[in-house]
Amino acid sequence: MSDPLDDADRAARHPHPALPAPTRRGFLKSAGAATGALATALPGTPAAAAPTTAAPPLPPPPRPAPPPRRITLTVNGARHELLVEARVTLLDALREHLALYGTKKGCDRGQCGACTVLVDGRRINSCLTLAVMQEDRAITTIEGLGRPGALHAMQAAFIEHDAFQCGYCTPGQICSAVALVQEARDGQASAITADLRQPAALDDDEIRERMSGNLCRCGAYPNIVKAVRVVAAIRPIA
């Protein structure tokens, strides 16, 4: 029950008659609410403690690696049984399992061509294929192209025309060049072949374009092109 005298006094002093006149009880209520809100916002007060959040779920444990597989690779005419994990590249299988170190690892990501080998006569980057994918294929590495005293024509041309300096890229260059000559003879066009109706003549531009996947840090390109051009003019080049 409110005091009628207080009510009359408040009404007389209230400047906005259209709004309800404030009461003492209403004032105390709103003041208490404001104080509580402030306490929750201030650090160090019990009400301001950080809200608890649920811990994120743990990631699932890693799956165990699949067991190694027994595969057979035919490399340079010889069959080899290997026990390899499915993730092993052909490049690593050649080098680490078969000790064929002629095939080089440059970038290990398909950018330099140092790892080029022939698979069924086609050149591929052996760092970009898995060994388990190459069963029942004929794989040829630089060791299988020729040997001392019986070099492949391309190997001999590289030596004769001084087509290397450090030699690191050379096995890949030679494998690539051997395939390149055959590709042109089979009528395969390159990105710059002008007339697609007939086999491209292997001029220097065609050779440069077709060898563009094989990088040489020593910059032996002019002599590499010369060696390939000379061999391309020979028929056949086995």
- Residue 209 has a CB neighbour count (10 Å cut-off) of 16
- Shorter beta-carbon distance to ligand FES: residue 132 or 169: 169
Spatial strand order of the sheet with 69-75 comes to: 78-84, 69-75, 138-140, 116-119, 122-125
Total chain residues near ligand FES (CB under 6 A): 23
Q: Which residues are paired to 83 by β-bridges?
A: 70
The verdict on 85 binding ligand FES (CB under 6 A) reads: no
Report the alpha-carbon distance of residue 119 to residue 110 in Å, rounded.
Answer: 16
Residue 145 main-chain phi, psi, to 5 deg: -75, -40
* Piece of the chain touching ligand FES by CB under 6 A; list 66-74, 161-169, 179-187, 190-198: 161-169
* Piece of the chain touching ligand FES by CB under 6 A; list 14-22, 62-70, 134-142, 158-166: 158-166
The verdict on 159 binding ligand FES (CB under 6 A) reads: no
Per CB under 6 A, the list member of 220, 225, 231, 232 interacting with ligand FES is: 220
The verdict on 139 binding ligand FES (CB under 6 A) reads: no
Strands 122-125 and 116-119: antiparallel
Report the alpha-carbon distance of residue 91 to residue 116 in Å, rounded.
Answer: 9
The verdict on 124 binding ligand FES (CB under 6 A) reads: no
**Site of interaction with ligand FES (CB under 6 A):** 105-108, 110-115, 125, 127, 164-170, 216-218, 220
